[in-house]
Amino acid sequence: MKAVKIAAPGGFDKLNLVEINDAEEPGPGEIRVRLHATSLNFHDLIVCSGQSKPADGRIPMSDGAGVVEAAGEGVSEFSEGDHVVSTFFPQWLAGPPRVSDFSGTPGDGIDGYARESVVATATSFTKAPKGWSHAEAATITTAGLTAWRALVVDGGLKAGDTVLALGTGGVSVFAIQIAKMMGAEVIATSSSDEKLERVKALGADHVINYKSDEKWGSTVGKLTGGRGADVVVEVGGAGTLSQSIKAVRVGGHIALIGVLTGVSGDVPTALLMQKQARLEGLIVGSRAEQQDFVRAIEHGGLKPVIDKSFGLGELGDAFAYQHAGKHFGKIVAEW
């Protein structure tokens, strides 16, 4: 079968489409999945670009969606023909966070889903949403679940709350959609007026161009009558955190998800204390949270926004496209 492997030290030109042995029959507690799609995330970009020094020959991609071909002894949750989607932390099934690294994450510490078939523990997957394509389902593993956890699990989002979503990448677009599905007001930011028009079409109530309005944190306060946002989906990191703290309401929640502007920087601690806000870091979520998310979107009618699709052998081109930063929503690969 075909698979993509990274040649050390990594780089978009080091993603090689190769032939490997077919997946074997699943053992006890395992399933064999015929994979059909993956989606690209910032974490995958870090791995495939070589920044995280991937192991030579590593099969990348944490997101994978496909069809169960066979179930091993003791597996009752899945049957042949079920549509499934992978989990980011196969070892974190439920409860509070239990992992702080990527040693067990597919596509990083272990081989991932850029291949035609895989045998894995049954807990490495959940059911995919009914009616979703494989490409749509593949967007759940990392981006979709991260947004769900930020808003609902950690942020305690409820109808009538205000959500501030930074940017228009995969997590942020999912956050806008989830927030609207939950009955929240949404404020979205971008440096592109064209993209701001697209988030308005998704239901964003207010939009801010953060390049022309560098004090957008104060603007959020004005848009909310001085109250501020209940939940801030913070994907920028050091370069945007001070404005996010200005934007959040007293006692609100800032979900620190990304480090797009840098891995360290100054934090206005006095303002954070004054706001009495929660600043909480997160990395994706548990399998149980993914199952909750799947149930929610099946009832809420949410569908992911897919910007562009590539083939399995075109992952290098797909990552170059992602790196250019012109996409809106998710980039996927299908085969």
pLDDT computed for residue 238 by the predictor:
79
Bridge-partner residues for 165, per DSSP?
Answer: 188, 233
pLDDT computed for residue 268 by the predictor:
82
**238 burial via Cβ count (<10 Å: 0-12, 13-18, 19+):** middle
pLDDT computed for residue 248 by the predictor:
98
Tokens in use for 132? 């979703």
pTM over 0.85? The answer is yes
pLDDT computed for residue 35 by the predictor:
98
Cis peptide leading into 28, omega within 30 of 0? Answer: no
DSSP string computed for 139-166: TIIIIIHHHHIIIIITT---TT-EEEEE
pLDDT computed for residue 326 by the predictor:
87
Taking a C-beta distance cutoff of 8 angstroms, is the pair 141, 85 a contact? yes
pLDDT computed for residue 269 by the predictor:
85
pLDDT computed for residue 266 by the predictor:
77
Decide yes or no: CATH 3.40.50.720 for domain 145-281.
Answer: yes
d(CA 78, CA 87) in angstroms, rounded, equals: 15
Decide yes or no: CATH 3.90.1150.10 for domain 2-141+286-334.
Answer: no
The residues of the chain scoring below 70 in pLDDT are 259-265
Domain boundaries, the chain: 2-141+286-334, 145-281
Q: Would 2-141+286-334 and 145-281 be classified into the same CATH topology?
A: no
CA-closest candidate to residue 85, choices 102, 100, 70, 63 = 63
pLDDT computed for residue 264 by the predictor:
66
